[in-house]
Chains A and B, each alone.
Chain A
Amino acid sequence: MSEAAATTRDNMPHTGMGHALIRRKAFTFDQGIKYFFRINASVAILVILAIVFFLMQQGVPFFFKEPAGKLLGGTWAPYVETNPEFGIWPLFAASLWVVGLSMIISLPLGVCAAMYISEVASDREKSFLKNFIEILASFPSVVLGFFALAVLAPIVKTVFHHRDGMTLLTASIVLAVMALPTITSISEDAIRNVPLSYRRASLALGAGRLATLLRVTLPAAKNGVIAAFMLGIGRVIGETMAVLMVAGGSPVVPTSPLSPGRVMTATIASETGEVSHFSAQYNALFLIGALLFFITLAINLVILRMTSAKEYKE
């Protein structure tokens, strides 16, 4: 490249890559690589945007076909020929039941396991249990759903003299097991991260190990445990296969743990594949998907805020 040309280029306004091209070759290449990596990093942002876009693109046409108020109705009967109903409430209520029931089982178990692993277990036991929880986390949900269908449902049927054992309770038991790895590992992290000085101070004042754990360490790890609880909710509300397989049933508002019920995810899973892409029902299913997306989004944002805010003052 002649000197004159180089000078003119240098005088040109610096716009993006042109700026980098006139430098030494290695530098140019390095700059290019950096941009290449940055483009890859933006994929995550693009995917989130694309998810919102496509959920809306398929969901919003609902409002041109049916009155928006129908979404808030108390009946989900989209297959009816005349005047179909698209009330999300029965599905949402079933999701709430399932979340509540599974958290009642999962939270105490998870936090107890976390306390045990972090504060009581020996090193060998600790590594066994942690590996074990990792294995549990990788259990395919369809397999747990199948187990619930084949084994748990008959048990529930006999114990509660239920018609077929396909109840919200059955689903919640499996979901609790699925949420356990999340709850346990995050609470365990939180408990372990409580500074040693807290424990030492408590022990030095004459408190026992148990009192230290329950009155000092656990309260100090409170934020982490709450985050674990919320992530567990996110996991349960988004879980599909297990609920689809055992809670099945008709979309009516559940009244007890032994009611059948159909949660939001299961409704999407069982109906989306079968309806026309141009029906109001198809659009409504995408709106339910959008609702699920925004619920988990909100949960994650709150957790992000909580975990970035907390730091221990030594």
Chain B
Amino acid sequence: MQSENKDFDDLMIDYLSESISERDQQRLFEFLNSNVDLKARFDEMIKLHAVSFIPLFEVEKQANYKRLIQQIKEDVTMVGLSRSWANGFRQIAAIVILVISVSASLFYVYRDITSPSDASICYETIAPIGSQTKIILPDSTVVWLNSGSSLKYNQSFGKKNRVVTLSGEGYFVVSKDKKKQFTVHTEFLDVNDIGTIFNIKSYKNDQEITINLIEGAVNVYLPDNKDTGTLTMKPNDKFVYNKITKKIDCFQTDASRSAFWTTGKLCFVDATIEQISKDLERKYNVKIRISNNKIKNELFSGSLNLNMSLKEILLYIDVDKKFKISQLGDTINIK
């Protein structure tokens, strides 16, 4: 058995990377309880680990300060708005503060400490499953990342061009700059624009990629699909690309609904329970299995407030009380 071979330092390596297994965790605690010297080694390794990050913090200090100040200013305007505006805005403000405090997880790809060259430094922001993150890019473009998504850009962002790579769902409010085109790369397609508001949903596990244009104009380009070339979207256009059939669909809709999630709600129009459960899975970090074919085809419309617990939401969807919900570990079965 592999874990038998791990010594105290090995266990600490796992512990510090937050990946220690149950068995190893027991062994680590036993070691610590049985030997005072190991307690000192424990402290020492924790400190070495922490101190190693000092140069990184120093490098990030200035950029982080800018973000911090921006965050402070936004908190202030949001608080101001919430007093004078109706309930809806109060919720947004609350979510903004909550989101900012809960989830941002930015890490810095750190290749060479002694001589970081421009091209080698790239920033990635991840919104872990179950949380959302708001990012302000150096050109003051604002991006909301939904649960389980990531956004990458490198240090040359904003110098010659503005290029980001998105995996998952992002709501973009692109700051206007006619000289520098803003490009979002996703797994299957690219979106170009110079100053607009749009929402892209491109999760790896979803069959479809959807783009909703709320304001302005964007060009959508499918590198793999040369026949279509570039497609220009108008406000309130909804673009759907099916990854499997490679079919493209573009129609008018109320695009602002697509950005509802940034307010902490989920909004559905004629959605199947399967589509809804995909969103719920990402939000609550669970697996939902639907084994009843009848409910699979039913369509739902409405909005869900994500302050509710998953159980409350499922009961809420189940208007006719015909679901049988059972839970086994992280999997929820609906019959």
A and B are partners in one complex rather than unrelated chains: no
